[in-house]
Amino acid sequence: MVNDFPRTLSLLRKEKKISQRKAAGDLGVSQALLSHYENGMREPGLEFLVKVANYYGVSADYLLGRTMSRDGSALIPEQLPDVMEQRDHTLKGSAMALFTRKVLTNSLSLFFDILGRCGDRTLIAECGLYLYTSIYKVYRHVYAYGRTNPDSAFPIPYDYVDAMCDMQLKKCELSLTRGTELRREDEAVADLTIDALQSRYPQLAPSMLNLLHTVSDNLEGKKNGL
């Protein structure tokens, strides 16, 4: 709470373009005390936390940094939309963006089907965290392109993103490497040859093979980009 509450408190006020004096008056505290809260010099009580949540229309969990969802709603797997199943869903954007999105979506569907069949929760978690972190990293870079996007929307300052994400990725890689050394024999991963992928996933395999080939060409210096 000491780290996240001051950040979210200040962020919400600035987003609403409310002066510190007005916010303090509306919340029933002095401007000096509100300044202390925003700077992390004082820790508020439960009553003030509830006032702030109601004032800005957010959840206490968001204020405390426990979630980035401002309404505090939990992520329920059964309620998540599946783009692959939405036939009337129209992708918008440039041709390159649409193509890349389809390749990634299909490749991830294939990949996680393999992981799901494997049933190794640790492997699924490590692969998932690796991909989460990779997306987080590139999202923060794109987010930073917009000069008006407040860096304080995130607990981790932009200047630290690369280093901290790289450390997390290395931790995941170490865990995955150790798993490889165990040489687990599992039917789900026993045969991942090109022929096997094309046979099991006739619709998804072309995207995965395109992804693998593109990355290989970039690593070998044959290609620069997509």
pTM assigned to the model: 0.80
Lowest mean pLDDT among 5-9, 56-60, 97-101, 208-212: 97-101
Domain 4-63 has CATH 2.115.10.20: no
Lowest mean pLDDT among 20-29, 71-80, 155-164: 71-80
Q: Which pLDDT tens digit goes with each residue over 181-191?
A: 555 666 667 78
Domain ranges across the chain: 4-63, 77-219
What pLDDT is attached to residue 1? 45
pLDDT bucket at 170, cuts 50 / 70 / 90: very high
pLDDT bucket at 81, cuts 50 / 70 / 90: low
What string of H, E and C letters represents the secondary structure of the chain?
A: CCCHHHHHHHHHHHHCCCCHHHHHHHHCCCHHHHHHHHCCCCCCCHHHHHHHHHHHCCCHHHHCCCCCCCCCCCCCHHHCCCHHHCCCCCCCCCHHHHHHHHHHHHHHHHHHHHHHHHCCHHHHHHHHHHHHHHHHHHHHHHHHHCCCCCHHHCCCCHHHHHHHHHHHHHHHHHHHHHHHHCCCCCHHHHCCCHHHHHHHCCCCHHHHHHHHHHHHHHHCCCCCCC
Residue 225 has pLDDT above 60, yes or no: yes
